[in-house]
């Protein structure tokens, strides 16, 4: 019998689950107990293991061949790939961060190809990219990368920790994050961290 994830998590359990989700998103594989403890700032492996066991009992995790696996994620439908769903990410004014809710979404296999391990999906909030056919509530498929060419649409983290979805422009030594809506102004930044670039859009009508 497969456990079904329960929403009843303590704050610490939710923090452990989010740290695990973030690690998988960044590296493409699950951390060891010791590495998860390093990510959480917990020095005792037994304390980390206690939280992992609690998450396992509640159906959020499973252990296979000595490793951790995110549970409650059935196999994606044929021709589709299951990727993490994050968000919302503002397509408007930058916001402090984006959430790691532990959800997933199926995307067409042809859209991601062999890049599946480096792909995630975001839930868009706002209308600053409407002229690029990205509307409020759309799910945008992102390839994880820390570089992008001028003209590409990117998810970027700014120096203040805020995150936004915009088109990257490099002009005469300037770095601009440009909206696709004349009602919004471009944001000029001195430094930014590219979290990924847009490779597709999913929409329900």
Nearest to 68 by CA among 24, 3, 6: 24
Nearest to 21 by CA among 70, 73, 82: 70
Q: For tokens 């079904």, what's the residue?
A: 4
- CA atoms within 13 Å, Cβ hemisphere of 48: 20
Give the active site residues: 128, 166
- Roughly what angle, to the nearest 10 degrees, separates helices 33-40 and 45-57? 100
Nearest to 142 by CA among 152, 130, 132, 129: 152
CA dist 90 and 157 (Å) reads 11
| Strand ranges across the sheet with 103-108 | 103-108, 80-90, 119-125, 139-144, 192-202, 153-158, 163-171, 174-178, 187-189
């Amino acid at each position: 019998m497969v456990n079904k994830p329960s929403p009843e998590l303590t704050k610490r359990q939710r923090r452990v689950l989010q740290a695990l989700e973030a690690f998988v998103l960044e590296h493409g594989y699950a951390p060891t107990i010791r590495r998860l403890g390093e990510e959480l700032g917990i020095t005792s492996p037994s304390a980390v293991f206690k939280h992992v066991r609690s998450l396992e009992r509640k159906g959020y995790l499973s252990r296979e061949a000595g490793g951790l696996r995110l549970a409650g994620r059935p196999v994606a439908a044929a021709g589709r790939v299951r990727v993490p769903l994050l968000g919302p990410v503002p397509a408007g004014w930058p916001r402090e961060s984006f959430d790691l809710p532990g959800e997933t979404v199926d995307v067409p296999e042809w859209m991601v190809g062999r890049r599946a391990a480096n792909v995630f999906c975001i839930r868009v909030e706002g209308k600053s990219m409407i002229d690029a056919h990205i509307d409020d509530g759309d799910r945008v498929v992102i390839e994880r990368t820390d570089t992008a060419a001028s003209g590409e649409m990117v998810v970027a983290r700014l120096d203040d920790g805020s995150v936004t979805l915009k088109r990257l422009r490099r002009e005469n030594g300037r770095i601009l994050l440009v909206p696709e809506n004349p009602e919004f102004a471009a944001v000029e930044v001195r430094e930014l961290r590219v979290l990924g670039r847009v490779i597709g859009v999913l929409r329900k009508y």
